[in-house]
Structure 1
Amino acid sequence: MLYPSINDLLEISDSRYVLVNQVSKRARQLVEGSDSLVRTVDTKPVSIATQEVFEKKIGYSSSYTMEMEQQDYEDKCNAFSNLMGE
């Protein structure tokens, strides 16, 4: 049996699509020479990346989420400026 199981990983990730992208991008980084963020006996980049996702050593943020956070920050700054009369 594979550890962590797909069911365990899907509890952490929003969707299978996100999970696959997250693991594949991290595995590519490992192949290119990045250091592992977890201790494991596995040597395969995909296995290491999967373990990193499971242990929440890596995460993701969608560009939509980042844009919404940026817009919220700008709105708060504008509201503060208006309140101060600038």
Structure 2
Amino acid sequence: MMLRPSFNELVDAANKYSGQEEPVVESRYSIVIAAAKRARQLIDGDEPLVDPKGRKPLSIAIDEIYQGKVQILSEDDTADID
């Protein structure tokens, strides 16, 4: 089974919507962690930012990242929030 979007497409989309010159996402690991965290938020009751269409939380999270509805922050940006 082919995954759509691919990891490369997700990395490109995440960096495109980050608003930063340097890429925020450079590895598949970053995408996996971000999607898992967002899926957990959805499971815990957060509203989806895209049409869920009966899909599972992880699929929704991936779609949100791909559409730029959820942004992945760098470690430096996360430290600024704390």
Normalising to structure 1: TM-score of the pair?
0.66
Structure 1 or 2, whichever has the larger Rg, is 1
Residue 34 of structure 2 is aligned to residue 33 of structure 1:
no
- Superposition map of 1:1-86 within 5 A: 1-13=2-14, 14=25, 15-65=27-77
SS across alignment from 2:41: helix
The change in CA–CA distance for 1:66 and 1:24 in structure 2 (over 3 A counts) is closer
Q: Give the equivalent residue in structure 2 for 1:83.
A: none
Unaligned runs of 5+ in 1: 70-86
Determine what percentage of the aligned residue pairs are the same residue. Answer: 40
Unaligned runs of 5+ in 2: 15-24
Deviation of 1:10 after TM superposition, in Å, equals: 2.2
Normalising to structure 2: TM-score of the pair?
0.69
Equivalent residues, number: 69
Q: Identify which of structures 1 and 2 has the higher relative contact order when contacts are C-alpha pairs closer than 8 Å and 6+ apart.
A: 2
In the alignment, the residues of structure 1 paired with residue 62 and residue 49 of structure 2 have an alpha-carbon distance, to the nearest angstrom, of 11
Q: Which amino acid aligns with 2:57?
A: P
In the alignment, the residues of structure 2 paired with residue 23 and residue 56 of structure 1 have an alpha-carbon distance, to the nearest angstrom, of 12
Deviating 4+ runs (over 4 angstroms) = none
In the alignment, the residues of structure 2 paired with residue 9 and residue 54 of structure 1 have an alpha-carbon distance, to the nearest angstrom, of 5
In the alignment, the residues of structure 2 paired with residue 62 and residue 29 of structure 1 have an alpha-carbon distance, to the nearest angstrom, of 19
Task: Tell me if structure 2 keeps the 8 A contact 1:38–1:48.
Answer: yes
